[in-house]
Structure 1
Amino acid sequence: MAERRLGGVLLAVALVAGAAFRLYWALHDDGIYWPDEVYQSLEPAHRLVYGYGLVAWEFIDGARNWALPGLVAGLLGLGRLLGLTDPAGYLGLVKGFFALVGTATAWATWRLARVSGASSLAASAGAALFALASVPLYFAPRAMSENASVLPVVLGLALALAPGASRRTLVVGASLLGLAVLLRLQNGVFCLGLLGVLLARRQWREAGWALAVLSGWALAFGLLDKLTWGRWFHSAIVYLDFNLVQGKAASFGTKPFEFYFRILGRAMPGLSMLVGALALVGLPRARGLAAVTAAFLLLHSLQPHKELRFLVPALPLLAALAGVGLDSALRVLRGFPARATATVGVVAAALLSGASAGALTFRELGQYEHARPKDSAWDDQGAVNRLLEAAGRQDDVCGLKVETVHQAWTGGYSYFHRNVPLYPHNGPPRNSRRYSHVITLAGNEGAGATVARDGPLALVKLPVGACVPDPGYSWRLP
């Protein structure tokens, strides 16, 4: 009874602290880890709700389905109904939503550890390993498909893999996994993994039910593409052709097989070793979950193009396995004080990792390892995005040019909330009169007047009157 109470307390602490960390960074980081967090979600959603926005190649060729932008558009639409029509308002709503999804995923991690055989006490420590670890915290508020799909992945597996799960529970779990695929195609690995585990258990009837449910969700995937792109499974076909057949994803950079293990060890050295060791201890008792997790890790490690964010759906699974491993270790210890001390120690290690998340650098996340290894991973291009917001609030803005960075590394119209041309750094010259404002380095104002400053950058009003219309303006992201 004492262990169960302590487990409840530790779980509550992990969830509250994890939510606080996530919401803090959601409201204090305007930076970009990778352009996808804007141009695969926020920008197409902004275009749906407000009628304008930059269009990435994926939404020209149809390499993405509309499930994730549709979800974000629903949040933007809700914000609009609530009067949150300024970027600070609706972006805070979106980031806060994703932050809370991450917190809910920590609870689902606890449940997954429990159905995998961990005690309430050990499962709470497993949940803390996801709720408080620095890498999940870093990615949590970002509007990426990995973050949108991680909760249905973990909760779906927790329900579908539960021993003695009822038919209704199995159907709900499989449906959540189907939804996860709708949000991110790569999550199909978990669907195949579920079927493999059920067949390995000789649960023939359950496997049949799961297959039927997942087939229904596959049909929904195809239908969504048919309604939006005009062809069944269009986005999946184009995406797989681009990545697997043509291998063009490698143009974004390639990494060796061991990249993910090396970077996790670099970003969270002590905690990664702890999770890895405990997960190995828990493997014999949760072979199905371990096999599914290993398959996901292996397939992603075999792909040439790697980004740490791709592993987000697997991190709570590793934490749940660590919870099972901790339970095995606790069984060796005698007496409540020893077991409580060991568990609190694991939670404390996770809390220490979360408290140090603000010190993460790009090198530690495997991003810009050679170009900008010591730069903080937080608020990258945040100054540009805050000046985009400031420009959108200017009554006299009739066009804007960002001179300091490639347009893909800005927040686009999601931050510049004004239906006027937004030019890239290689756009028309200042004397073209196509735009009234520029974002540039402080000291490079020229004849313009500084309207706002943020760090080394300035928003400058050029000495022009009304802008000259640009009939050739392209909404395509360069």
Structure 2
Amino acid sequence: MTTSAAALPAIAPAAKAESFATRYGALCALLLLAAAVRLPLAFWPNIVHVDELYQYLEPAWRLLGHQGVVTWEWRDGIRSWFLPTLFAGPVALGDWLAPGGWGAFVVPRLVVGLASLSIVVTAWHFGERISRSHAIVAAFAAAVWFELVYYAPHTLSEPLATAVILPAAYLLTGELARNRLFTAGALLALACVWRFQYVPACAVFALAACWRDLRNTIGLVAGGCVVLVLSGAIDLAHGSAPFAWLVQNIQQNLLHDRASEFGDAPAAAYVLQASILWSGATLLMLLALWRGWRHAPLLIVAAVGNVAFHSMIVHKEYRFIFLSIALLIIAAGLGSADWVQMMRRQNPWRSLAVVCGGWLLLSLGLSGATLIMRDNWMRGIGVAQLMAELEADPEFCGLALYAINYPFVPGRGQLAARRPIYSFYRDDPLAKGRLPAVVRTHQAGFNRIIGPASLASELPADFSPRSCAMMSDDKLACVFARRGACDAPASPFGVNDVLVRLNY
């Protein structure tokens, strides 16, 4: 397996002499295309997983001096403050531009969407090592592929870590100059701090670089140490020992198997889900990857290794292997560009258009072809709609969440609700078996309730339904309202108190 610069086709001397506009005009156009596809989705309030709010944006919101939801991960200290610290700036800017939760939700998503463009740039540079056609096709595939587009604006560690791993992979599979090694080491360390489960995939690229010459280790380690020192300093600034969160995370999730409480799946789950999402395109993808192996074997090795590692972890979510998806799409894009060269004798531009058009049609078709993707696009939309209506309600002074999926609301409105939010959850030991009576006892503290439409009869008589929306569990939930103000006495049913009792 060889990925050195000597083993890759060189760029023609004429190409090197081209002007910047000529050489990178197509890349700039592809970046504009990718941005036009991704950035508007920052305003679409769907939620991949509640983690994008409660592990990253909510902690950033609390860093700015506001009240917020504190989940068990933060109470047990298994999360790094690195990403919330980075998000604090965009959250503050968003709240300044558009107060009330909307801006604090959207601006960080715009930042993450912009960061995802590094995937397109890296795909271009991998392809440029082979030919201009390979650069265009690989970058186009990375710009439009539906999974990369879907995850791009979500404030999760997986897309952000991928956005820095891919440039490092490019640097480590080319000419290994000292500055490249240092930069790649810093990028890989950054990714590992943000998503330490990606360490095995990062190790593939690091080991490949050091295998050729052990002296390369010096530059890699030096770059990595700079980031690790920065990460440790952030931990200290937040009052914890450097990397204590990592030790706690491993103890909770690997030794105590805490993550399995949130669901488990068989070892083949990732492969099965990918085959469902790609459906009829799976065979074409495999053929493209077979061709892509000639050009970028390390990308495929790292992708497969990452899937294998995550398959050994009982708790599985498709977003965990986002890095593998990006690596495979780039490798498949490089492989499919070979078909352009096979057809170019007739008309090179036509063959390029055919292959790029195939990527676009597949992506558009698959983005809504499966029930999984249709549900993904709509996840969290219902609750976001209800919360947005409450934000605009001048009489709203307190909210109760009644028997919904979570003891908290996975919607943008909670970021800056600035009003008391209570949670009445069926599994709460203080309310179990007597939820309707408990709500009636505490109803003076709130004048709005969000709860399932089917349980309207359990709510106090003076609460009447207003607007309703479908929740992510395909159940109808409504806002129930009563007239009058709120008297907010001390209550054991504040969201954070309930989370402590439930150990959520």
Residues 441 and 7 of structure 1: CA distance in aligned 2, closer, same or farther (over 3 Å): farther
Q: Secondary structure at the match of 2:416?
A: coil
2:38 matched residue in structure 1: 22
| 1:438 Cα offset (Å) | 1.1
CA RMSD of aligned residues (A): 3.1
| 1:142 Cα offset (Å) | 1.2
Give the letter for the 2:439 counterpart: P
Please show how residues 331-410 of structure 1 align to structure 2 within 5 Å.
Answer: 331-333=341-343, 335=345, 337=347, 339-356=348-365, 359=368, 361=370, 364=372, 376-403=375-402, 405-407=404-406, 410=409
Unaligned runs of 5+ in 2: 1-11, 426-430, 432-437, 471-475
Q: Secondary structure at the match of 1:424?
A: strand
Unaligned runs of 5+ in 1: 366-374
| 1:357 Cα offset (Å) | 5.7
Aligned equivalent of 2:54, options 24, 39, 56: 39
Whole-Å separation in 2 of the counterparts to 1:19 and 1:137: 10
Aligned equivalent of 2:157, options 113, 123, 145: 145
Q: Secondary structure at the match of 2:376?
A: coil
2:198 matched residue in structure 1: 187
| 1:105 Cα offset (Å) | 2.2
Residues 330 and 465 of structure 1: CA distance in aligned 2, closer, same or farther (over 3 Å): closer
Q: Secondary structure at the match of 1:377?
A: helix
* Residues 314-347 of structure 1: CA deviation (Å, up to 9, x unaligned): 222212222332354555556262x544433332
Q: Secondary structure at the match of 1:440?
A: strand
User: Quick check: 450-459 or 146-155, which moved more?
Assistant: 450-459
Whole-Å separation in 2 of the counterparts to 1:475 and 1:258: 36
Whole-Å separation in 1 of the counterparts to 2:400 and 2:62: 20
Contact kept, 8 Å, 2:68 with 2:415, in 1: the verdict is no
Contact kept, 8 Å, 1:68 with 1:148, in 2: the verdict is no
Please show how residues 167-246 of structure 1 align to structure 2 within 5 Å.
Answer: 167-200=178-211, 202-246=212-256
Give the letter for the 2:146 counterpart: S
1:437 matched residue in structure 2: 448
Q: Normalising to structure 1: TM-score of the pair?
A: 0.85
Aligned equivalent of 1:447, options 454, 457, 462: 462
2:77 matched residue in structure 1: 62
Whole-Å separation in 2 of the counterparts to 1:358 and 1:155: 26
| 1:9 Cα offset (Å) | 7.0
Whole-Å separation in 1 of the counterparts to 2:336 and 2:411: 45
Taking every aligned residue pair, what percent have the same amino acid on both sides?
A: 23
* Residues 36-65 of structure 1: CA deviation (Å, up to 9, x unaligned): 121111211222225111011111111110
Contact kept, 8 Å, 1:359 with 1:376, in 2: the verdict is no
Contact kept, 8 Å, 1:400 with 1:438, in 2: the verdict is yes
* Residues 290-316 of structure 1: CA deviation (Å, up to 9, x unaligned): 333332222122222221101112222
Give the letter for the 1:108 counterpart: T
Q: Secondary structure at the match of 2:79?
A: coil
User: Quick check: 412-421 or 314-323, which moved more?
Assistant: 412-421
Give the letter for the 1:88 counterpart: W
| 1:124 Cα offset (Å) | 2.0
Give the letter for the 1:174 counterpart: G
Residues 287 and 376 of structure 1: CA distance in aligned 2, closer, same or farther (over 3 Å): closer
Give the letter for the 1:139 counterpart: Y
1:369 matched residue in structure 2: none
Whole-Å separation in 1 of the counterparts to 2:413 and 2:195: 22
Whole-Å separation in 1 of the counterparts to 2:46 and 2:84: 20
2:3 matched residue in structure 1: none
| 1:66 Cα offset (Å) | 1.0
| 1:393 Cα offset (Å) | 4.0
Say if 2:314 is the partner of 1:304.
yes
* Residues 102-155 of structure 1: CA deviation (Å, up to 9, x unaligned): 2332222222343xx432211221222222112222222211111222211111
Say if 2:103 is the partner of 1:104.
no
1:72 matched residue in structure 2: 87
Q: Secondary structure at the match of 2:64?
A: helix
1:475 matched residue in structure 2: 496
Q: Secondary structure at the match of 2:377?
A: coil
Contact kept, 8 Å, 2:303 with 2:327, in 1: the verdict is yes
Residues 408 and 284 of structure 1: CA distance in aligned 2, closer, same or farther (over 3 Å): farther
Residues 378 and 59 of structure 1: CA distance in aligned 2, closer, same or farther (over 3 Å): same
Whole-Å separation in 2 of the counterparts to 1:95 and 1:451: 30
| 1:355 Cα offset (Å) | 2.7
Residues 410 and 378 of structure 1: CA distance in aligned 2, closer, same or farther (over 3 Å): farther
Give the letter for the 1:96 counterpart: L
* Residues 44-96 of structure 1: CA deviation (Å, up to 9, x unaligned): 12222251110111111111101121222110112244x32132233222222
Give the letter for the 1:127 counterpart: A
Say if 2:273 is the partner of 1:288.
no
Contact kept, 8 Å, 2:118 with 2:164, in 1: the verdict is no
Aligned equivalent of 2:173, options 141, 156, 161: 161
Aligned equivalent of 1:465, options 475, 482, 485: 485
Rg larger for: 2
Contact kept, 8 Å, 1:452 with 1:459, in 2: the verdict is yes
1:125 matched residue in structure 2: 137
Contact kept, 8 Å, 2:61 with 2:415, in 1: the verdict is no
1:93 matched residue in structure 2: 107
* Residues 392-413 of structure 1: CA deviation (Å, up to 9, x unaligned): 3444433201226223672267
User: Quick check: 105-114 or 404-413, which moved more?
Assistant: 404-413
Q: Secondary structure at the match of 2:480?
A: strand
Residues 123 and 151 of structure 1: CA distance in aligned 2, closer, same or farther (over 3 Å): same
Say if 2:323 is the partner of 1:313.
yes
| 1:199 Cα offset (Å) | 2.5
